[in-house]
Amino acid sequence: MPPDPPKLPNGLKMPDSNDRYCVDQATVDWLTQSLPHSHGDDDVYWSASGGLDEKRYVYIEGNNLASRFRTLGRPSFLIFELGFGFGLNFLLTAETWLRHARNGQILHYVSAERTPVAIEDLRHLFRQLPIQNADRLIQIYPAPIGGLHTIWFKPGICLHLYLGEARALLADQSLSNIDCIFLDGFSPAQNPDAWTPHLLCQLGDASRAGATLSTYSVAGRVRRNLEAAGFHIRRRSGFGQKNEMLTAILVSHQTANDRLAVAPSVAVVGGGLAGRQVVRSLARRGIQPTIFDNSAASLPMYALSPQVSLTVTLESRLSLIGTQFTNNHLPVQRVGLHRHMATERRDRIVSGLDPTVATSTPDGVLFINGGYLYETDVRDTDPCQERLLINARVTGVVEQNNGVVVTFLKHGARSKPTTTTFDHVYVAAPDQSLTPMTPVPLNLVWGQSAAITTDTDQSGPVVADGASIIPGPSGFLVSATYDRDRDARLGTRYEDTETLIAHFRRNYPNLSIRKIVPITGQRITTPDRVPIAGPSPDWPSLVDHCEEKRPTSLFHHYSDRIGLLTGFGSHGTALAPLLAEFLVARMMSEPPVLERKFETVLLPSRFQLRQVGRLRHHP
């Protein structure tokens, strides 16, 4: 029996097990214009006669992917790759998928890369080597922040790129039902860690019967380890100068349950920033939910502002990865975000990050991926998708045998409450009168922003200096003040407007103000200031579990029909898109979007479990 993982201290403030944000990047020597060599591993990325043709031969043809995609009878296909390198296998697979798969099917491509290549090397290669969608790869290629990066590359193609050791990814994740494996790490002689019996057994265990595998290596230990992992191997003639390569098929392994079919009816309760991101994530999977919203007042713009602390914490890592996700999936105005900071703090923060993430300025740090979003762009989830939006207040979300019953009151209608049953319901409404949200401890924090019109327009980064000053097309939005005890119904407050004007004048002393419009709103926070994103627990069972003196098992009564998402405080733009994607993928039993260490700290049940000292395991 593996030992219990250690108890987690409160929230995401805990130091990360990784003491650095970024992983080392590969040092690439160019032997020819299109033949890269890794200095650290002393090996080439492909042979002198190869590149695209070699990858196509070994991995696309070696696994018969064109025909398998054409005849795929399931909603999705899962590939695991060891060694992302320059992404050639991924691009070739994407090209094959786009040509042969049917509309609505999804390719999940999970790839692990220990030392990612720098974006400049990627650009260099693709100038020499024309390949479909290379520009898209450059556009979404993540900064070298360690961990899992989930990116919807194209409709129907989801890349899960893990920057770190493959064995750490496999140990962390409960991957299952892999259809195909590409072993493309550096050679066993240079990089033995990528070919160990343990790692290949983990891959075998995570694969479905009939899964195929290919690799350029025919080393004896690779063959033996693959056979030990349950693969039947076959030698094929190799590409170019190479005599042989290996293909393999998993025959002995019986897979557990198949992935779930797409849920036919889904509702999202709450059409605010978070609810809209759930709608986006569902739309990527071809699902058009019914949205229930009771319509809240909103701001015209939101700053996108990564939060990075001096020590490496889960919270900062989540914020950095979340900011990247938002950049890749929403129309962010990428003007950067400049945070004022003392010199010593600035230097420490910048030294831990890559220059594509943050750079020093004389008085602070410029976060390159920061910027802002228009409210209209946040709400406009997908103009091509017809969705049903019900202007209504939901009064009940109750799971029954045949689904989840949603009870709602339509606005303006005097009629009695109406009920509809759905297969899945995502509650992104911070309404504690709704049963699945009632036991979640939420706090309301009132705040005020000011829309400031000036004589002249100003461009440049968002300035974070006590408040965020966002330079929009017709002036600025200065956001925001905080008051935990203020009643939202009391409206705007003179002192808060003055405070916001003072922030503005400090940064733009020469601009004269023509008009000021104060706007108020409420943030939702949790006691540990970490959002809620996870399946709804069965609350009565949780109470019983917490009252047990000696629990015989870990708590595992979670709904697979109701997901909860809320508590974003002031960080909705950096976190809600990623956590909505995480929640939807989790509820649909898809490959993971976040490492497991995040799952536990985001659980809606964590407060109750933490109180009795039982927040140890992932559900």
Ligand X SMILES: Cc1cc2nc3c(=O)[nH]c(=O)nc-3n(C[C@H](O)[C@H](O)[C@H](O)COP(=O)(O)OP(=O)(O)OC[C@H]3O[C@@H](n4cnc5c(N)ncnc54)[C@H](O)[C@@H]3O)c2cc1C
Cα 426 to Cα 440: distance, rounded to the nearest angstrom: 15
Joined tokens for residue 553:
């098992």
For the chain, how are helix, strand and coil distributed in percent, rounded to 5? Answer: 30, 30, 40
**Nearest residue to ligand X, scored by beta-carbon proximity:** 272
**Nearest distance from residue 521's CB to ligand X, in Å?**
3
**Nearest distance from residue 393's CB to ligand X, in Å?**
4
**Nearest distance from residue 124's CB to ligand X, in Å?**
36
Considering the complex, state which of residue 20 and residue 484 has its C-beta at the smaller distance from ligand X. Answer: 484
Strand stretches in 89-155, DSSP E: 106-113, 147-154
The owner of tokens 């990050």 is: 353
Joined tokens for residue 32:
């020819």
Considering the complex, state which of residue 566 and residue 608 has its C-beta at the smaller distance from ligand X. Answer: 566
Residue type, position 254, single letter = Q
Distances (CA, A) of 483 to 302, 487, 501: 19, 9, 17
**Nearest distance from residue 271's CB to ligand X, in Å?**
5
Q: Please name the residues in contact with 459: beta carbons below 8 A apart, sequence gap of 6 or more.
A: 335, 471
Omega of the bond leading into 480 within 30 degrees of 0 (cis): yes
Backbone angles phi, psi at 92, to 5 degrees: -70, -40
**Nearest distance from residue 468's CB to ligand X, in Å?**
5
Joined tokens for residue 487:
């009643």
**Nearest residue to 54 via CA among 40, 38, 34:** 34
The owner of tokens 């899945």 is: 424
Which contiguous run of DSSP H or E holds residue 279?
helix 273-284
**Nearest distance from residue 467's CB to ligand X, in Å?**
9
Considering the complex, state which of residue 164 and residue 322 has its C-beta at the smaller distance from ligand X. Answer: 322
Considering the complex, state which of residue 81 and residue 496 has its C-beta at the smaller distance from ligand X. Answer: 496
Binding residues for ligand X, per CB under 6 A? 269-275, 292-296, 299, 302-303, 393-394, 428-431, 434, 447-449, 468, 479-480, 521-524, 566, 568, 570-573, 576
Considering the complex, state which of residue 105 and residue 326 has its C-beta at the smaller distance from ligand X. Answer: 326
Considering the complex, state which of residue 231 and residue 568 has its C-beta at the smaller distance from ligand X. Answer: 568
Cα 139 to Cα 143: distance, rounded to the nearest angstrom: 11
**Nearest distance from residue 304's CB to ligand X, in Å?**
7
The owner of tokens 């997901």 is: 563
Considering the complex, state which of residue 308 and residue 428 has its C-beta at the smaller distance from ligand X. Answer: 428
**Nearest distance from residue 502's CB to ligand X, in Å?**
17
